[in-house]
Chains A and B, each alone.
Chain A
Amino acid sequence: MKQLRAKYASVLIVFTCTVMSAALADQRIVVQSTTSTKNSGLYHYILPLVKRDTGVTVHVVAVGTGAAIKNAMNCDGDVLLVHSRKREDKFVAEGYAKQRHDIMYNDYVIVGPQSDPAGIADLRNAATAFNKIAATKSTFVSRGDMSGTHSKEGALWHAASVLPDTSSAKWYRQTGSGMGATLNIAAGMAGYTLTDRATWTSFGNKADLDILVEGDKNLFNPYGVMLVSKDKCPTVNTKSGQAFIDWLLSDTGQTAISAFRVDDKQLFFAHAQQ
């Protein structure tokens, strides 16, 4: 009898745990996102606010934009927050999301060694700078990982009419890793690289590197957010995912994004279309 009671008790406990975790799971979402937003500390700053206002617990998986989109297509995320406009539009066009929302922007910068062997400092045009780097065969460290930054870099090489892949392993080095790892390598090799400003500002191992080119309108870096479509992925937590997106687009969310600072510098500029 005692044994039977213990059995019932354990069944009851397991049952309660399951129900409770199911209830909790309702409020949980996985956001597939980029390293730039995570490494800069943006999520660390806004997620407690999201939790406070909406009750939603957000789990962020930070990988390159390419990997994030791939994971979302595999239904391993409820929300996608990335920065590669073309591929975001493709994601929507293929029906993986109903709609893409602008949420914020910052810009890319070209960083390189202070000695500046290619002489690009203070150029206003990114493509010209890339041209000079190629012409002087100065070391350039590329992400090479299909991330948002990597595709922006590809577009800039295209604009500069340079095919850097043909110089692979000579002066053009592809790391195949995240922005931070790539910056570590650029610092180690005293090479040039393209980075988003958020990662750069919060990066701790700048060594001898400095911002050399900035302010070109081609270096604009917009971030978009999308709710993964239930039609493609039935397991998506639409309610909590939408609550998270609504919060980001709300005045509270937009103010919070703009208020986030590292070393007294604003890293992301809110620009949701109201």
Chain B
Amino acid sequence: MDFYCESLYQAFSLIISADAELAEVFWLSVKVSLTALLIACALGLPLGAFLAVHRFSGRGMLIGFINTLMGMPPVVIGLIVYLHLSRSGPLGWMGLLYTPTAMIIAQVILITPIIAALSCQIVEDLHEDYRDLFASLCVPSHVAILSYIYDARYSLLTVVLAGFGRAVSEVGAVIVVGGNIDHLTRVMTTTIALETSKGELEMALALGLILMVKALFINACGQRIKTTAQAKAYV
């Protein structure tokens, strides 16, 4: 089990020495995944709430479709985005392949279904409780949707964290559309893949540990927001 010690040691020395390349890779990871998360939330939360509140023909099919998209392998999403953004693809003129923007697009496609499907479920449960009350008060549906999202904000926080976790941890999509280019599109997961392929297994594991600490920190922040706000609510 020496490799754990060796990896831990490498992880610590990387953090303590404030390795410039690691910092660059780290922040690009955060930047790409947070941007993707913001866009995915802007699309996914209202979509999920809309699906929860409205009844229309084809709704069941649409929900089934979104649930299926949750299981899409990242590498397939990467491939689809690649084919569109490639110079020979329909969106090639934009010149977006091998840029952080391409990685954000892939991650948005990856996590929007997760956020939409999970928030749909949460809002649907709320809607069961409030439908009659809102109907009797003639509350318009967009106001109802907003109040559901507000009311369920703590449950939705978990949804958002799940989306972020998925975005920041995947490697299949970003390595295809980003190309793992040094100083441009190299993020934590693609660096781990690269170090593994170089046979630098301890280094790869050290980076994995750092990635886990990051996830832990973000989850702790989410938890903190939740408990503080809930405590305040009962004062």
Contacts and interface: CB of A to CB of B under 8 A. Distances in A.
Q: Do A and B bind each other?
A: yes
B197 A74 contact: no
B179 interface: yes
A183 B184 CA distance: 27
A75 B201 CA distance: 34
Given A60-B181, A74-B87, A235 B95 contact: yes
Contacts of A35: 197
Contacts of B184: 59
B98 A76 contact: yes
B97 interface: yes
Contacts, number: 69
B197 A180 contact: yes
Q: Interface size class for chain A?
A: 20 to 34
A60 B190 CA distance: 14
A184 B182 contact: no
B198 A61 contact: no
Contacts of B112: none
Interface string A203-239: 1111000000000000000000000000001010000
A62 B181 CA distance: 8
Contacts of A47: 182
Contacts of A74: 86-89
B180 A62 contact: yes
Contacts of A90: none
Nearest to A39: B198
Interface in A63-120: 71, 73-76
A42 B118 CA distance: 46
B215 to A, nearest CB: 25
A140 B182 CA distance: 33
Nearest to A25: B95
Interface in B85-133: 86-89, 92, 95, 97-98
A75 B98 contact: no
Contact of A61 (B87, B88, B98, B199): B98
Contact of A59 (B86, B88, B181): B181
B151 interface: no
Majority secondary structure, B binding face: loop
Contacts of B86: 71, 74-76
Q: Interface size class for chain B?
A: 20 to 34
B28 to A, nearest CB: 14
B80 to A, nearest CB: 14
A215 to B, nearest CB: 24
A45 to B, nearest CB: 12
Q: Which of A62, A76, A206 has the most CB of B within 10 A?
A: A76
Contacts of B199: 180, 183-184, 187, 203-206
B227 interface: no
Contacts of B88: 73-76
A178 interface: yes
A216 B203 CA distance: 35
Interface in A171-194: 177-181, 183-184, 187
Interface of B: 86-89, 92, 95, 97-98, 179-182, 184, 194, 196-201, 203
Interface of A: 25, 30, 35, 39, 43-44, 47, 59-62, 71, 73-76, 177-181, 183-184, 187, 202-206, 233, 235
15 contacts: A30-B181, A43-B182, A44-B182, A59-B181, A71-B86, A76-B87, A76-B97, A178-B197, A180-B198, A203-B199, A204-B198, A204-B203, A206-B199, A233-B87, A235-B92
Which 9 A-B residue pairs are closest in the complex by CB-CB distance? A180-B197, A205-B199, A75-B87, A61-B179, A204-B199, A203-B199, A204-B200, A74-B88, A59-B181
Given A75-B88, A184-B196, 20 more contacts: A25-B95, A39-B197, A59-B179, A59-B181, A59-B184, A61-B98, A61-B179, A61-B180, A74-B86, A74-B87, A74-B89, A181-B197, A183-B199, A202-B198, A203-B198, A204-B198, A204-B200, A204-B201, A204-B203, A205-B200
